[in-house]
Structure 1
Amino acid sequence: MNNKLTKAIFMAATFFVALSVQAQEDQKIRTLFNNGGIRSNGGYGGVTVGYTQIENADAITVGGQGAWLINHQFGIGLAGTGFISERRFDATLDNRYLTTGGYGGLLLEFIAMPHSPIHLSFPLVVGAGGLTYVESRRDFDFYDSEDSQAFFVVEPGVDVEFNLLPFIRLGVGLKYRVTSDIELSYRDSGAAILDRDALTGFSTAFSLKFGKF
């Protein structure tokens, strides 16, 4: 758990260092409320599709987010992500199972040089979620759940964004997800189904944002 916390703290620190460096380079935005306070308001809604791994099993992610933008650079809002892993044969249960769930929470975002056609965004999501280990014999065909649980999550990241149109942005991102310990277990034996850090790891995603930037 210490290793996971160290990585999470490092990624979160990167987020705030990037904000500080940009603030020093741009004297017009040294702080959120300098030079006349909030000079512009905007907002956006967006969707994401991505890839991750859950204990070495391939998984797809689908999500959505929305945020209020202050001075083109600071965003605050909500974000959520759902995930589903590939099916694998479980010898203990003599059938094919997969892991599925989702998480979401508060979204904080800093956008460096937002008016540039290509720029960087540093999102940070802090929240909670849930997952379940469920029998699945065919695509989108779910049966009995062996176990499920809730978890806390922190997910910092970095996106490369492209201003396609004044109201549309395309992003390609890399994130690092850190969760509280996963403790799914088999009902009969009590043995662990997944490692405690099964959800901790990197993910990649494409995003489309629509709004007033």
Structure 2
Amino acid sequence: MLHYSAKYHLIMKKLNNFTPILLLILALLYTLFGMSQTENKTGFPLYGNETRITGFAGPSLSISEIKNKPALFKGGSGGIIVNKSFFAGAFAETHAGSHNTGRLSLTLENRQSVTYSNLRTNFGFAGLIFGYIRQKTENFRLQAGMGIALGSVSLSENDYRLDFRENIINDGVFVIIPKAEAGFRLFPFIRTTLGLGYRIVRGTGKTTVTSEGTLNNYPNNKDFSGPLVSISFLMGNFNS
């Protein structure tokens, strides 16, 4: 009975982590198909020409580092493309792997010392993306852009509880991700993009008192900043 309950809570935790990303993708897909009904054109001019607006949405994966260890992130993005030259939209990512702190002893506000043997690192963020597209051919394009997001970094016990209020440490963070990407058409309305970027994280650095003294900036910004590679699978009208 206990084993069944643990498995149930594990499934619920995974669903809870993925739900915001799924809702974002569904909302952007709804917008995408709504745009397709209007033949991807608007009625107002831009420098004397008709403005063409199309939409895109899809899931993504990226690999970077957390505390000098490889880290996998899952997420999604979506938005609009204006005249095949500019894009803007929203994105979200969350850490999909498991990074543990090992043994950590903390002195709480009531001066009681508590030792944790296996704290899990949680990291996620969501925000806006925008950039410029250089259309080389119908099947290939280059693009450069930036993501700006808000998120959180926290440490929690490796149990099956879902309550974020029980996090041991919880820091709000500001994230900037400049990125260059190459896009390849797989099918008329499906494109994959390969990207190379750098994640800049600011906002961590709470002073944590331990039973052995004081650890400044734990966790710190450099533990979550660094280069990344990404792959996305996007659905949309990219050539109208």
Q: 2:219 aligns with which of 194, 197, 207?
A: 194
Q: What's the TM-score, normalizing by structure 2?
A: 0.66
- Describe the SS at the equivalent of 2:46: coil
Q: CA deviation at 1:142?
A: 7.2
Give 5+ residue unaligned stretches, structure 2: 1-44, 105-114
Q: CA deviation at 1:195?
A: 2.7
Matched to 1:207, the amino acid is S
- Aligned partners of 1:147, 1:185: CA distance in 2, in Å? 10
Q: Which residue of the partner structure matches residue 157 of structure 2?
A: 135
- Describe the SS at the equivalent of 1:88: coil
> Retained in 2: the 8 A contact 1:85–1:100?
no
- 1:113 and 2:135 aligned: yes
- Aligned partners of 1:79, 1:110: CA distance in 2, in Å? 16
Kindly report structure 1 stretches of 4+ aligned residues shifted beyond 6 Å: 140-143
Q: CA deviation at 1:129?
A: 0.9
Residue by residue, what CA displacement relative to the aligned partner does 1:148-172 show, whole Å, maximum 9, x if unpaired?
1111111110111111112100111
Q: 1:33 aligns with which of 20, 23, 46?
A: 46
TM alignment of 1:30-179, pairs within 5 A: 33-38=46-51, 40-92=52-104, 93-113=115-135, 115-136=137-158, 145-179=167-201
> Retained in 2: the 8 A contact 1:68–1:77?
yes
- Aligned partners of 2:181, 2:53: CA distance in 1, in Å? 22
- Aligned partners of 1:173, 1:123: CA distance in 2, in Å? 10
Which has the larger helix fraction? 2
Residue by residue, what CA displacement relative to the aligned partner does 1:86-144 show, whole Å, maximum 9, x if unpaired?
3335222441222112112111021111644222121211121112112226xx77795
Q: What's the TM-score, normalizing by structure 1?
A: 0.74
Q: CA deviation at 1:183?
A: 1.6
Residue by residue, what CA displacement relative to the aligned partner does 1:67-101 show, whole Å, maximum 9, x if unpaired?
11111121111111111453335222441222112
Give 5+ residue unaligned stretches, structure 1: 1-31
Q: Say which one has the larger Rg.
A: 2
Q: CA deviation at 1:210?
A: 0.1
Cα distance, 1:141–1:103 mapped onto 2, change above 3 Å:
same
What is the number of equivalent residue pairs in this alignment? 179
Q: Indicate the RMSD between aligned Cα atoms, in angstroms.
A: 2.5
- Aligned partners of 2:225, 2:101: CA distance in 1, in Å? 22
> Retained in 2: the 8 A contact 1:73–1:114?
no
